[in-house]
């Protein structure tokens, strides 16, 4: 699910690039230094998962992971996805630098939305968190596919057919990622539940100043 260079009109490419830069700046500011190793690991997982492409007509499908990336990283999800896309573009020519902003919005916005949704609906029980994770995993792919279809449709009538095919082609991925996300969340709840703690909320030490007397 990468838009290549030359597909989008210049105005759309520039507009999405500016918006992506603004969101990435916000995402970086909301990423504490102690969370950077976690961001790096999840960004690497996103990078690797997106490398396996299955051709389907004029397009291709692959794992996207926006839902689970959002659930694990919260506001930092956009930054992680952008880093993964930059590496894919530079190392393997997936997508393109001129379409980088559009690709980042296409996967980053659903990741942010799913992250917030997961933290809102997750509850406390392992079963509910797994179900919520599965729902967000599938919803993230569906959101990305919808944004892709919209961007392709805005690129001209020649891309309308490709937009429809791309949307339909990713429906199986919605199911696959929903199942995978549910298993991942269920596993993390059992072995490392702190990884699922609400990253959208500020930590206590970020809100309250240190009032301990200095010696």
Domain ranges of the chain: 10-202
Report the candidate in 21, 49, 4 with the shortest Cα–Cα distance to residue 151.
4
pLDDT for the residue numbered 9:
86
The reported pTM is 0.81
Give the CA angle between residues 201, 203, 209 to the nearest 5°: 130
Taking the C-alpha atoms of residue 136 and residue 182, their distance in angstroms, rounded to an integer, is 9
Helix 66-73 to helix 36-49 angle (10° resolution) is: 180
Closest by CA to 159, choosing from 89, 59, 85, is 59
CATH top-level class for 10-202?
A: mainly alpha
Predicted confidence (pLDDT) per residue in 4-32, tens digit = 777 788 898 899 999 999 999 999 988 88
Give the count of alpha carbons within 13 A of 72, CB side only.
Answer: 30
d(CA 96, CA 9): 14
pLDDT, tens digit (0-9, with 9 covering 90-100), for 37-93: 888 888 888 888 777 666 655 555 667 888 999 999 989 999 999 998 888 888 877
Interior/surface letters 33-46, b for 16+ CB within 10 angstroms, e for the rest: eeeeebbeebbebb
H-only helix segments in 35-125:
36-49, 66-73, 77-92, 100-121
Measured between alpha carbons, how far is 46 from 44 in angstroms, rounded to an integer?
Answer: 5
Q: How confident is the model at residue 211 (pLDDT cuts 50, 70, 90)?
A: very low
């Amino acid at each position: 699910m990468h838009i290549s260079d030359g597909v989008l009109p210049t105005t759309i490419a520039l507009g999405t690039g500016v918006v992506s830069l603004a969101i990435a700046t916000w995402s970086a500011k909301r990423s504490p230094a102690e969370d950077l190793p976690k961001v790096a690991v999840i960004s690497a997982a996103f990078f690797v998962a997106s490398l396996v492409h299955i051709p389907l007509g004029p397009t291709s499908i692959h794992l996207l992971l926006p839902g689970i990336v959002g659930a694990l990283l919260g506001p930092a999800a956009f930054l992680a996805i952008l880093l993964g896309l930059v590496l894919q573009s530079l190392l393997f020519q997936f997508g393109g630098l001129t379409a980088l902003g559009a690709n980042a919005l296409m996967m980053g916005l659903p990741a942010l939305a799913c992250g917030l949704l997961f933290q809102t609906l997750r509850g406390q029980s392992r079963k509910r968190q797994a179900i919520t994770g599965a729902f967000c995993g599938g919803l993230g792919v569906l959101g990305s596919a919808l944004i892709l279809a919209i961007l392709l449709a805005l690129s001209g009538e020649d891309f309308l057919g490709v937009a429809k095919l791309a949307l339909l082609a990713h429906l199986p991925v919605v199911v696959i990622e929903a199942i995978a996300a549910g298993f991942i969340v269920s596993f993390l709840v059992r072995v490392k539940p702190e990884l699922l703690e609400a990253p959208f909320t500020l930590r206590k030490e970020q809100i309250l100043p240190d009032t301990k007397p200095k010696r």
